[in-house]
C-alpha cells in the first residue's frame, strides 16, 4: 500500500531535549516536505527536499533541521525544542510530476512543556 509513515504519532517532551520525528514513504517520490499545523494558521511549510541531499527552507524553518540521506526518509529534527514548537506536524511526499497531489502522513502531535 502506498503510504507516508510518520513516527511517533504523539510525543510529549521537555524544553531543550533533542528529538527526531521520522518520515518514510514507499512511493519512490522525489519531493518530500514537512508542515506544521496550528489552529487558525493552516499549514505552514517548515522544510522541503527535492531529492536526496537537496533540502531547502520553507516558510517557518527556525528551530528545525532536516536531512535527506535516502530517497525514502526525511526526518525532522528539533535540536532544542521550545514550547512554541508544540504543534501538529505532517510529512508529505509527491512524485516527479508536479501535477500530482501531495500524499500526507498521519501526523505527529508534539507537546513541548
Partner 1 sequence: AQSVSQHNHHVILSEAASLELGCNYSYGGTVNLFWYVQYPGQHLQLLLKYFSGDPLVKGIKGFEAEFIKSKFSFNLRKPSVQWSDTAEYFCAASGAGSYQLTFGKGTKLSVIP
Query: Which residues of the chain form contacts with partner 1 (CB under 8 A)?
Result: 31, 35, 40-45, 48, 50, 90, 92, 94, 98-99, 101-102, 104-107
Rg (CA), the chain: 13
HSE toward the beta carbon, residue 28, CA cutoff 13 A: 2
CB of 103 to partner 1, least distance (A): 9
Report how far residue 84's alpha carbon sits from residue 106's, in angstroms, rounded to the nearest whole number.
21
CB of 113 to partner 1, least distance (A): 22
Q: Which is nearer to partner 1, 28 or 82 (CB)?
A: 28
Of residues 50, 47, 66, 69, the one with CA closest to residue 58:
47
Q: Which is nearer to partner 1, 12 or 50 (CB)?
A: 50
Q: Which is nearer to partner 1, 14 or 54 (CB)?
A: 54
Amino acid at each position: 500500500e502506498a503510504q507516508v509513515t510518520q513516527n511517533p504519532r504523539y510525543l510529549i517532551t521537555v524544553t531543550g531535549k533533542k528529538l527526531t520525528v521520522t518520515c518514510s514513504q514507499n512511493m519512490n517520490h522525489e519531493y518530500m516536505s514537512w508542515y506544521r499545523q496550528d489552529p487558525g494558521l493552516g499549514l505552514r511549510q517548515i522544510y522541503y527536499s527535492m531529492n536526496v541531499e537537496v533540502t531547502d527552507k520553507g516558510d517557518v524553518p527556525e528551530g528545525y533541521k532536516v536531512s535527506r540521506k535516502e530517497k525514502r526518509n526525511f526526518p525532522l529534527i528539533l535540536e532544542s525544542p521550545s514550547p512554541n514548537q508544540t504543534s501538529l506536524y505532517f510529512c508529505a511526499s509527491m512524485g516527479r510530476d508536479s501535477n500530482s497531489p501531495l500524499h500526507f502522513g498521519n501526523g505527529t502531535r508534539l507537546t513541548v512543556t
